[in-house]
Amino acid sequence: MSAKPRACRNCKRIVVGKTCDVCGSSNLSTSYSGLVIILDVESSEIAKELGIRKSGRYAVKVD
């Protein structure tokens, strides 16, 4: 069985594991809503609006 995805409470990155690979935080939550996938941070208006600096999957809201 695969691990349940978790969202980092600091940067909202969705990860599988015990720590965030973007900010290194272990403050993760299984309760989040919305999903945004950023492919190109340089040209993404959504990435700029959300303050995302690395491509990947991110939660819109983390509880």
Per-domain residue ranges of the chain: 6-62
DSSP label of 13: B
Q: Which fold would CATH assign to domain 6-62? A: Rubrerythrin, domain 2 (2.20.28)
Q: Is the pLDDT of residue 2 over 80?
A: no
- For residue 46, what are its two tokens? 């959504």
8 Å CB contact between 15 and 28: yes
Sign of CA dihedral 31, 37, 42, 46: negative
- Output the average pLDDT for the chain: 95
- For residue 45, what are its two tokens? 């208006």
Strand order in the sheet with 6-8: 14-15, 6-8, 28-29
Question: Percentage of the chain with pLDDT > 70?
Answer: 97
- Consult the annotation and say whether 8 binds a ligand: yes
Look at residue 50 and give its three-state secondary structure.
Answer: helix
Q: Is the pLDDT of residue 58 over 60?
A: yes
Q: Is the pLDDT of residue 1 over 70?
A: no
3 pLDDT band (50/70/90 cuts)? confident
- Consult the annotation and say whether 59 binds a ligand: no
